[in-house]
């Protein structure tokens, strides 16, 4: 059952965890791995294999901007910045599909922050623990900034 369409505003990657990610035009996603070249990809960190690709809505970033902070896409270490979808309303197991067939499955909503990471110290708050979601790659391929997102239930 089709729920709603959205859009990828930005694709963001970093070589290390716990830091801001930098925007790229496109990315290759590998099944049960994540985004090639991103520090959060893979399952080498025990217990994190279900958090291969993270998503955060542009609206979440806009809330922090309205607080007077200068932040942008990737500043909260999200892999995909999206618009048009209320990510936290997606139930676990929801399928997220991209134009070329790349498919993600929602595996976690929000996260617990045990330590104040570099992102928190740099921007003064972090919306990722409350409003970010995490997915695993079910079907691999390439996605690009500007791609439509189809939410399937």
Report how many domains make up the chain: 1
Task: Between 37 and 19, name the one with better pLDDT.
Answer: 37
Encode pLDDT of 61-84 as tens digits.
888 788 777 888 988 889 999 999
Domain that holds residue 38: 2-152
Strands 148-152 and 2-13: antiparallel
d(CA 123, CA 96): 29
Is 68 buried (19+), middle (13-18) or exposed (0-12) by CB count in 10 A?
exposed
Encode pLDDT of 4-17 as tens digits.
799 999 999 999 88
> Mean pLDDT over residues 46-53, rounded?
74
Residue 30's CATH number = 2.40.33.20
> Which structure tokens are listed for 100?
């070329």
> Which structure tokens are listed for 3?
């729920």
> Mean pLDDT over residues 79-96, rounded?
94
Q: What is the pLDDT of residue 2?
A: 45
């Amino acid at each position: 059952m089709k729920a709603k369409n959205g859009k990828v505003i930005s694709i963001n990657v970093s070589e290390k965890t716990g830091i801001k990610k930098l925007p790229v035009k496109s990315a290759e996603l590998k099944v049960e791995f994540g985004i090639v070249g991103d520090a959060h990809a893979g399952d080498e960190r025990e217990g994190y294999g279900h958090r291969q690709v993270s998503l955060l809505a542009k609206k979440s970033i806009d809330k922090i901007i309205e607080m007077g902070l200068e932040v942008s896409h990737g500043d909260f270490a999200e892999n995909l910045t999206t618009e048009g979808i209320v990510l936290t309303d997606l139930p676990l197991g929801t399928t997220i599909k991209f134009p070329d067939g790349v498919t993600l499955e929602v595996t976690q909503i929000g996260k617990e922050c045990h330590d104040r990471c570099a992102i928190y110290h740099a921007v003064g708050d972090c919306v990722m623990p409350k409003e970010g979601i995490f997915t695993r790659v079910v079907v691999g391929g390439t996605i690009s900034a500007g791609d439509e997102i189809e939410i399937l239930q």
